[in-house]
Amino acid sequence: MRIVELTDSTRENVLNDLLKRSPNNYSGYEEKVNEILTAVKTEGDKALFDYTLKYDKYQLTPENIRVTAEEIREAYAQMDPELVEVIRRSVANIRAFHEKQLRNSWFDAKEDGTILGMRITPIGRVGVYVPGGKAAYPSSVLMNVVPATVAGVKDIIMTTPPGADGKVNPGTLVAADIAGVKTIYKAGGAQAVAAMAYGTESVPKVDKITGPGNIFVALAKKAVYGHVSIDSIAGPSEILVLADETANPRYVAADLLSQAEHDELASAILITTSRELAEQVSAEVDVFLQRLSRREIMEKSLDNYGYILLAENMETAIETANDIASEHLEILTKNPFDTMTRIQNAGAIFLGEYSSEPLGDYFAGPNHILPTNGTAKFFSPVNVDDFIKKTSIISYSREALQAVHQDIERFAESEGLTAHANSIRVRFEK
């Protein structure tokens, strides 16, 4: 890996380099995505089935679009029973973590007859998109579905592309079944997003769409936002390791490669105050690359977006980490908890040498659907709040309103909204 002295100039170059990976920079695909969305919106099932035949080489019909109970049983039969139990334990951890995020409706009543409050209710119907083929990740099924069930969403549907034989990845089906999904449709790509956003004869319209996907899926979610809600527009995966001289270079190298293997746009960055560690990590990366299966992808990822940044001191290292606002941030310093208190921007923070990033991907419980491309400065991981909505409650007695009605009328009139003022005034006419 390249080792770069961290200066204001190199920091700016790295930030600009990383931003090139944003889905917002792939406008060349938008015309095709909009064509697909419009077709499905106007033609419904016909367009959905045509695009599935074109891209997935499978002829959908109203009779075969939905995954059957028999197909789910077949999926279980194809799975390693021990892996099924691991998935069950993972679900238990994810559910326990997200249950702590639940909030209750609240009301505040005062003696003058004023009642204010917030009513919290789950979203009615959620659609979860799950990639297929080589990008099938059953763990992402759990991270989307479990928070929704904890929030109380009653109707969760899932779409995932079929293979040319009409089959769906068995791990995806088993994970969905364990997580509690009752309805799964064989559809993928922008056409599946359109089907969930607008509804077709076979696929019902949802209120919110969540889940990762390729650039077509990301741009489709961006385009339908407003017709439905979405979780986020996810970019390529990224990891930042913040380390000092106490870090184990072998662990750091392994952790950087754990994200570089996702795809050629993935980013893996080490920021350290130790030149010795930087050189050791670079050497360990080369050793691992010789024996890991996705070597070509990892090499391209590191060539494009891999850096070892050598900082003059930890303050500069932390400042740069906050500027990058990485999806995953590992802190491998002498006192990682102290370092953490100075971190403002990160999707998820992993503390200490035994808290490597894959722990969060699969098992610990916190959600692994995280803000990317610097959006951790203003976005959060997927959580229970993503699947609820809040309604304000306002109730005033005559006595409570009488005490403030002139203030309201004056405020409304200052904005030129005389009908607003009149709506209050008529209640106190003699």
| Chain centre to alpha carbon of residue 240 | 18
Reported pTM: 0.91
Better-scored residue on pLDDT, 24 or 294: 294
pLDDT at 21 over 80: no
The dihedral built from the CA positions of residue 328, 331, 336 and 338, taken in this order, carries a sign that is negative
Q: What is the residue-averaged pLDDT of the chain?
A: 94
Q: Model confidence at 23, in pLDDT bands (50, 70, 90)?
A: low
pLDDT for res 214: 86
pLDDT at 28 over 80: no
Contact status, residue 405 vs residue 425, Cβ threshold 8 Å = yes
**Amino acid at the residue 248:** N
CA distance 110 to 396: 10
In order, the DSSP letters of 352-366 are: STT--HHHHHHTSSS
pLDDT at 66 over 90: yes
pLDDT for res 134: 66
pLDDT for res 245: 96
What is the SS3 assignment for 265? coil
User: What secondary structure letter does DSSP report for 68?
Assistant: P
Residue 216: both structure tokens together? 């077509």
User: What secondary structure letter does DSSP report for 84?
Assistant: H
Catalytic residue set? 327-328
pLDDT for res 135: 67
Contact status, residue 301 vs residue 263, Cβ threshold 8 Å = yes
Q: Model confidence at 263, in pLDDT bands (50, 70, 90)?
A: confident
Contact status, residue 336 vs residue 354, Cβ threshold 8 Å = no
Name residue 158's beta-bridge partners: 128, 184
Q: Model confidence at 24, in pLDDT bands (50, 70, 90)?
A: low
pLDDT for res 25: 66
| 24-38, 262-276, 308-322, 332-346: segment of lowest average pLDDT | 24-38
> What are 141-175's pLDDT values in tens digits?
999 999 999 999 999 999 999 999 999 999 999 99
pLDDT at 26 over 80: no
pLDDT at 133 over 80: no
Spatial neighbors of 284 by CB under 8 A, at least 6 apart, are: 249, 250, 252, 253, 254
Q: Model confidence at 220, in pLDDT bands (50, 70, 90)?
A: very high
First to last CA, the chain: 82
pLDDT at 256 over 70: yes
Residue 168: both structure tokens together? 């769906």
pLDDT at 342 over 90: yes
pLDDT at 137 over 70: yes
- CA proximity to 240, closest of 248, 252, 232: 252
Q: List the alpha helices (DSSP H) in 100-169.
A: 138-151
Residue 51: both structure tokens together? 């695009």
Contact status, residue 302 vs residue 260, Cβ threshold 8 Å = yes
pLDDT for res 403: 94
The percent of the chain in helix, strand and coil, each rounded to the nearest 5, is: 50, 15, 35
